[in-house]
Amino acid sequence: MSDTASRIEELRAQIRRHDHHYYVLDNPLIDDASYDRLWRELVTLEEEHPELVTLDSPTQRVGAPVSELFSPVQHLRPLFSLDNAVSDAELDAWEQKVVRMLGRPAEGYICEPKIDGLAVVLTYRDGILNVAATRGSGEVGEDITANLRTLPSVPLRLLGDAPSLLEVRGEVYLTLDGFDELNRRRREAELPTFANARNAAAGSVRQKDPTVTASRALEIWVYQAGVLEGGPSLQRHTEVLDYLQSLGLRVNPRSSSAPSLAEVKEYVKRMLDEHHRLPYQTDGVVIKVDSLADQDELGATARAPRWAVAYKFPPEERVTTLRDIRINIGRTGAATPFAVLEPVFVGGANVSMATLHNEEQVRQKDVRVGDRVVVRRAGDVIPEVVGPVLAADQERSSPWEMPSDCPFCKGPILRPEGEAVARCTRGLTCPSRLREWLFHFSSRGGMDIDGLGYKTVDMLLRDGTITGPADIFSLGREHFEDREGWREKSISNLLGGIEAARHRPLWRLLVALGIRHVGPGGARLITARYRSMDQIAAATEEDLAAIDGIGETIARSMREWMADPDNQDLIAKMGEGGVSLADPEPEEKVLPTLAGLSLVVTGGLDSMNRESIQQAIVARGGRFVSSVSGKTSALVVGASPGVSKVTKAQRLGTPVLNEDQFLALLEHGPEGILAEE
Ligand code: IVH
């Protein structure tokens, strides 16, 4: 190595060490001027020798916008959610389940602040930051490497003896000061402000231009190693945290071991009191079983690990003035009262509106316009009015009453005898109801029409381009060409989205129509039996209820919906608009060749993603489970597998399959591939 090259390496190592002490340990070793001297020397040398610049140099954090931003990243291992507890009793219940499953008490716990930020996954290969991704669906996230590189507390290169592979999870957040500062800047620039620190953090990470991310005071706490290869063998989560810290990653110093649940409860009590004083937002405490072997043994349900639980802080409450009570009309016509409030800061956000649920609740709570009221909000939960705070001799306005006319269409609002909900009676001619209906219809859970979001729906309704539910399917290029903000690309995108929606499977159409009680599960069962709208319309309530899994409620609701002439008209119009009203005949049926088998897959396969693997197994009657146990029929091992799964399978003598063997299993069934019991 030349002298220059070794000097550059030396400077980088020094700067990395100082960055680590400054940003991660919050404990600088040198003053700013000395740091600046090192920095300037490095920058000068790198400018003189561009051939020596490497991506892991501290000078290379903020790069130009890159095209890989937000492209999908398959996580090496899925990210789970956490089950919640809200009381000591629920913590007890959680521990009892742990003890029952282990057959003995766990070997201690660890408590960590639950950071209210954005979950991210960092992958280091041979110590160099390789990919940073959002949590996404838990299986697949979005590539945010260029943006996370700009966080000074995210090491571009790990310190010390780095493992060959480390996939680490953590939470990116904005400090409360950083949040205030950001909103102040936005107000000055007349930009909309963020409602809370978490939204602001999420928005900052999802920037097309990394320099924008770099300008926001984002930080990270890491709290879990998802995959670790070529590193020390660790027995406890506390050791993992120490190890992560030794690699230069930022571990929350408030994490603390608790030998028993009594100490856990004490920790929770302390945090309940102290969390308001932390410089970042937390919404609870995460409690984890400390022994990794115990964690492995406990495994996970489909949603969350059994070895961890989140104790959620109770919602925050504040008092403010109730300025008005108004109503919204939702997609089913339901009239929902909501409170217009004197803005108040509660649960980490400014609140000026809160739900009042329904008429009955307003009466029960007896809140009246002009009252001082208690407002409650937790994290991202919708704020709610709890009740009035009344002085003894207070004068009050008269009790609120549901308006008799809809504020949007002037149609009558009625509450049918015996029902809790009042509804606008004008059907989909009410513009508010139509807007909500269309929004649901085109949303992800419905027909998933790309490019047709709330704003666009609202715009098209407001200027009368759309007046009814089927009008979406008569939209053409001419309806957008002269509009401000609409370019060739956005128009094609929307029209492409509408075209795609014409060919969705029938079950999706049923869900999108918003028929009461008919969700994705029910809709799939119905369309597996009846393959067209005509057939469904011809089915009686008894026919429908005879479908396995369809109860009376769904059958009746489906029948009533079909009997309504307005709905028949709507379906006919959808058909005229080119919407497919029938499913193609089913392809060859897949046989239940994997019935009775339960399979675990670890690591990535070349030919299938996790979702298609799961589908393939379930379609053949098998079970797709997340952890290896005595009941596991086989473990399928792909690239970068979880070491603990493989060792456990070996210990239990569970058959281990590679990708080719797994594909053969799918094609031919277990004969000859899995040994007899
Ligand atoms: S552990 C398998 N630890 O909470 C469990 N999560 O509600 C993985 N979170 O998606 C999570 N602080 O984004 C863990 N100290 C902490 C956490 C934490 C915040 C978030 C995380 C997760 C969510 C679940």
Q: At what angle do helices 520-529 and 552-563 cross, to 10 degrees?
A: 70
pLDDT in tens, 265-287: 999 999 998 988 899 999 999 99
Q: Closest ligand 1 atom, CA of 119? A: 13
pLDDT in tens, 574-615: 999 999 999 987 666 678 888 889 999 998 888 888 877 887
Q: At what angle do helices 552-563 and 565-576 cross, to 10 degrees?
A: 70
Phi-psi region of 5 (alpha: psi -120 to 50; beta: other; left: phi over 0): alpha
**Is 489 one of the catalytic residues?**
no
CA–centroid distance, 81 to ligand 1, in Å, is 7
Q: Please compute the mean of the pLDDT values over residues 648-662 and round it to a whole number.
A: 89
CA–centroid distance, 82 to ligand 1, in Å, is 7
Q: What is the pLDDT of residue 114?
A: 96
Residue nearest to atom 8 of ligand 1 (CA): 80
Q: What is the pLDDT of residue 586?
A: 63
Query: Is pLDDT at 676 greater than 70 in this prediction?
Result: no
CA–centroid distance, 222 to ligand 1, in Å, is 10
Q: Closest ligand 1 atom, CA of 116? A: 19
Q: Which of 224, 286, 306, 307 to mutate to test the pocket of ligand 1 (most atoms within 8 A of CB)?
A: 286
CA–centroid distance, 444 to ligand 1, in Å, is 25
Catalytic residue among 114, 288, 312, 648: 114
Residue nearest to atom 17 of ligand 1 (CA): 114
Beta-carbon contacts of residue 274 (< 8 Å; ≥ 6 apart): none
Q: Closest ligand 1 atom, CA of 310? A: 7
Residue nearest to atom 2 of ligand 1 (CA): 80
Q: What is the pLDDT of residue 377?
A: 84
Q: Which residues does ligand 1 sit against, CB inside 6 Å? A: 80-82, 112, 114-115, 119, 135, 171, 223-224, 286, 305, 308, 310
User: Six-digit token pair at 652?
Assistant: 């239990």
Rounded distance between C-alpha atoms, residue 296 and residue 106, angstroms: 12
Beta-carbon contacts of residue 293 (< 8 Å; ≥ 6 apart): 235
Using an 8 Å Cβ cutoff, are 247 and 159 in contact? yes
pLDDT in tens, 469-507: 899 999 999 999 888 888 888 899 999 999 999 999 999
Going from the C-alpha of 344 to that of each of 46, 191, 352, 369, the distances in angstroms are 51, 20, 7, 16
Average pLDDT value for the chain: 91
User: Six-digit token pair at 272?
Assistant: 């309940």
Q: What is the pLDDT of residue 210?
A: 87
pLDDT in tens, 106-137: 999 999 999 999 999 999 999 999 999 999 88
Q: What is the pLDDT of residue 316?
A: 84
Residue 472 exposed, middle or buried by CB count within 10 Å (0-12, 13-18, 19+): buried
Beta bridge partners of 121: 133, 169
Phi-psi region of 410 (alpha: psi -120 to 50; beta: other; left: phi over 0): left
Rounded distance between C-alpha atoms, residue 153 and residue 438, angstroms: 44
Q: Which of 79, 114, 256 to mutate to test the pocket of ligand 1 (most atoms within 8 A of CB)?
A: 114
Of 102, 163, 153, nearest to 296 by C-alpha is: 102
Q: Please compute the mean of the pLDDT values over residues 51-63 and round it to a whole number.
A: 89
Q: Please compute the mean of the pLDDT values over residues 549-553 and round it to a whole number.
A: 88
Q: What is the pLDDT of residue 537?
A: 95
Rounded distance between C-alpha atoms, residue 431 and residue 469, angstroms: 11
Q: What is the pLDDT of residue 587?
A: 61
Q: What is the pLDDT of residue 677?
A: 42
Beta bridge partners of 122: 132, 168
Beta bridge partners of 354: 339
pLDDT in tens, 77-113: 999 999 999 999 999 999 999 999 999 999 999 999 9
pLDDT in tens, 168-208: 999 999 998 999 899 888 888 777 788 788 889 999 998 88
User: Six-digit token pair at 210?
Assistant: 């990394």
Rounded distance between C-alpha atoms, residue 258 and residue 543, angstroms: 58
pTM of the model: 0.61
Of 627, 625, 642, 599, nearest to 76 by C-alpha is: 642
Confidence at 380, pLDDT banded by 50, 70, 90: low
Q: Closest ligand 1 atom, CA of 252? A: 15
Q: Which of 94, 115, 256, 289 to mutate to test the pocket of ligand 1 (most atoms within 8 A of CB)?
A: 115
Q: Please compute the mean of the pLDDT values over residues 613-632 and round it to a whole number.
A: 86
Q: What is the pLDDT of residue 646?
A: 86
Q: What is the pLDDT of residue 468?
A: 87
Q: Which of 118, 137, 171, 205 to mutate to test the pocket of ligand 1 (most atoms within 8 A of CB)?
A: 171
CA–centroid distance, 316 to ligand 1, in Å, is 21
Rounded distance between C-alpha atoms, residue 254 and residue 633, angstroms: 41
pLDDT in tens, 134-147: 998 899 999 999 99
Rounded distance between C-alpha atoms, residue 670 and residue 38, angstroms: 63
Beta bridge partners of 326: 338
Q: Which H, E and C letters describe 187-224, residue by residue?
A: HHCCCCCCCCHHHHHHHHHCCCCHHHHHCCCEEEEEEE
Residue nearest to atom 21 of ligand 1 (CA): 119
Q: pLDDT over 90 for what percent of the chain?
A: 62
Rounded distance between C-alpha atoms, residue 570 and residue 590, angstroms: 35
Q: What is the pLDDT of residue 69?
A: 78
Beta-carbon contacts of residue 529 (< 8 Å; ≥ 6 apart): 547
